[in-house]
Structure 1
């Protein structure tokens, strides 16, 4: 009988236990701060795509690859998580109003409004529900966040104007324009009736027109306005606005009607 050859010891290649694949390696356990940041980021993404009342804790947990109890371990409920994610978004939105103080005023504001509208577009449903006052998630906390964003926008615009001392009328003009930008952009989200770039230009030109109207009533601001206009470019938002107005005055009858309205009223008999 032929002798049986001893079997060779198993090698790493022939072992019945396969080596773990790279994708099978255990994930690094997130720290407390990292997990909290992850939950906020996931929640903000969901709230950006859907109104807050349509997002549940289970939705957030599933998107984060976490359990429902784990979410509750970090946040007492959806409202707290919504407010925290809104604060994060609010800081980002406020930062989009920051712009170097170089170049024509209207061109700076045009870039600002481009970033603002991009944010509104990418965070539409959640912010639309909140700003319209129709969200069940609206609260004193969420209102405070929105107020902080509005205040940051107000302060940034006044910084760009760089007037020695902003009058109450000028501050009111800036606040009214910010409110108008909110309303107009939310209506645009619902209808998409004009291209985004057209809305961007329209909002900036509305601010220039409102600033001119305020300056017409305030001599000190009128002096500042002359400096703003001198620094504008013909192909910028203000230059295009002036050309549009010039074209309007060329319409038969409008120039005559405006001239008549500008005349000093006759004294009462």
Structure 2
């Protein structure tokens, strides 16, 4: 009896990806992990496994975990900033509402990147990581200045705007964690929060009073 030749089951072909595409996959996997765990609790092996890649490949692209962490957060920061660029030239309050909507588009569509970017306390914000996060906040602050037609904010107005930015960040993280409020309702709440904060500041600062008037049409007190 003639034996039939044994045929080996062909192995699935390994995907050939461009350098940029492979790097993007690794960053996406890393952001997902960093959004759920502190960086010190995520290993290169974890990232490689999540991305379906080898440990050596991760090192080839990034050199180590710190470099990967920095690249992942920078990627998220750049994407968020691109979403926040002014889109129109309407009334300041309308532009603010539109900016909040674009911000939450990013929060919803890139939850892992947003959470990884803002997760953790001051202890995780030293060095280059802190520069990335502070850079996002600084550019967001400048964007709000432009939208509100504020050239150089007074100390009271500066503190008010920065306090509002912190509340927006916190609201975004809370919404991702709980999802127990409609996104549109949360966006309206944050716009109203801005008006309320300016109302308090307006009692102490003429520039805040003028900005409140520009937003709402109310006469400064």
Q: What TM bracket, shorter-length normalisation? A: 0.7 to 0.9
Q: Scaled by the length of structure 2, what TM-score is found?
A: 0.76
8 Å Cα contact 2:141-2:161 kept in structure 1: yes
1:208-259 per-position Cα deviation (integer Å, ceiling 9, x unaligned): 121233233333443444333349xxxxxxxxxxxxxxxxxxxxxxxxxxxx
Q: CA deviation at 1:144?
A: 1.7
Given the alignment, which residue of 84, 92, 110 partners 1:97?
Answer: 84
Paired residues, number: 210
Distance 1:126 1:187 in 2: 15
Q: CA deviation at 1:158?
A: 0.4
Residue 30 of structure 1 is matched in structure 2 by: 18
8 Å Cα contact 1:79-1:137 kept in structure 2: no
1:174-205 per-position Cα deviation (integer Å, ceiling 9, x unaligned): 10100111223223333323211111110111
Residue 189 of structure 1 is matched in structure 2 by: 176
Q: CA deviation at 1:116?
A: 1.8
Residue 203 of structure 2 is matched in structure 1 by: 216
Given the alignment, which residue of 185, 191, 194 partners 1:204?
Answer: 191
Structure 1 runs not aligned, ≥5 long: 1-23, 232-269
Distance 1:101 1:216 in 2: 31
Residue 82 of structure 1 is matched in structure 2 by: 69
1:141-192 per-position Cα deviation (integer Å, ceiling 9, x unaligned): 2222111111011000000111343212111111010011122322333332
Distance 1:199 1:125 in 2: 20
Distance 1:122 1:111 in 2: 16
- 1:122/1:46 CA distance change after superposition, 3 Å: farther
Structure 2 runs not aligned, ≥5 long: 1-11
- 1:226/1:185 CA distance change after superposition, 3 Å: same
- 1:42/1:193 CA distance change after superposition, 3 Å: closer
Q: Which structure has the greater CA radius of gyration?
A: 1
Distance 1:223 1:126 in 2: 37
Q: How well do the aligned residues superpose, as a CA RMSD in angstroms?
A: 3.5
Distance 2:89 2:38 in 1: 39
